[in-house]
Amino acid sequence: MWGFSSFSELITATFKNIGSEFVIKYIVPIILAIDLLFKFLFISEIGVYFLMALYGIDFLTGIIKAIITKNLVSKRFPRFLFTMLSALLILSILKYAGMFVVVFYPLYSIFYGVFVGQQIISIVENLTALKLLPLEVLNKIKSKISEYGSNKQ
C-alpha cells in the first residue's frame, strides 16, 4: 500500500513518535466516530469538512495578520470557536427541520452558501491585509456580492 508493506508500517512512517497501536486504538476510532456523527447530522459531511477547513484557514490567516500588526488578542479564539460551532448547529437543525417541514429544506443550502461566502471574504480580507493579494481582488469580490444582493431585491 503506497510503497509500504503493511498498514502498521504506513502508520509508523506517518506518525514517527506515536506507535501504531495508539493510532489504531484511539485515533482511528475517534476519526470514524466524528465521520459517522457528521453523516448523521449534516446533508453533506464533505461540505461540512470544507466549511471547517475554511474556518481553520480564516483563523490561521487572522492570527498571522494579528501577529504582524501586533494586535493579537486572546479573546478572539473563543469567538472563532463559537461562530464555527454555531454554524454547524444551525446547519444540523436545518437538516432535521427540513425533514419534517419542506420550507426548511432549501434553507440548508442558503445558510451553507452564506457561511462559505463569509469565510471566503474573511480569508481574502486577511490575505489583502497581509499584502498577499491585491486590493482589487477584495474590491471585485465585494462588488460582485453587492451586485448580486441588489439584483435580488
Are 1 and 62 in the same domain?
no
Are 76 and 29 in the same domain?
no
Q: Taking each helix axis from N to C terminus, what angle separates 76-100 and 45-68, rounded to the nearest 10 degrees?
A: 160
Q: What is the pLDDT of residues 49-65, one digit of tens each?
A: 888 899 999 999 988 88
Are 57 and 86 in the same domain?
yes
The total number of structural domains in the chain stands at: 2
Are 88 and 29 in the same domain?
no
pLDDT lower than 50: segments of the chain: 1
Are the CB atoms for 123 and 70 separated by under 8 Å?
no
Are 53 and 32 in the same domain?
no
- What pLDDT, on a 0 to 100 scale, did the predictor assign at position 9? 72
Are the CB atoms for 103 and 109 separated by under 8 Å?
no
- What pLDDT, on a 0 to 100 scale, did the predictor assign at position 145? 74
Are 58 and 36 in the same domain?
no
Are 9 and 55 in the same domain?
no
Residue whose C-alpha cell is 461566502 = 117
Are 37 and 56 in the same domain?
no
- What pLDDT, on a 0 to 100 scale, did the predictor assign at position 58? 92
- What pLDDT, on a 0 to 100 scale, did the predictor assign at position 53? 92
- What pLDDT, on a 0 to 100 scale, did the predictor assign at position 152? 56
Domain range enclosing 135: 43-152
- What pLDDT, on a 0 to 100 scale, did the predictor assign at position 1? 47
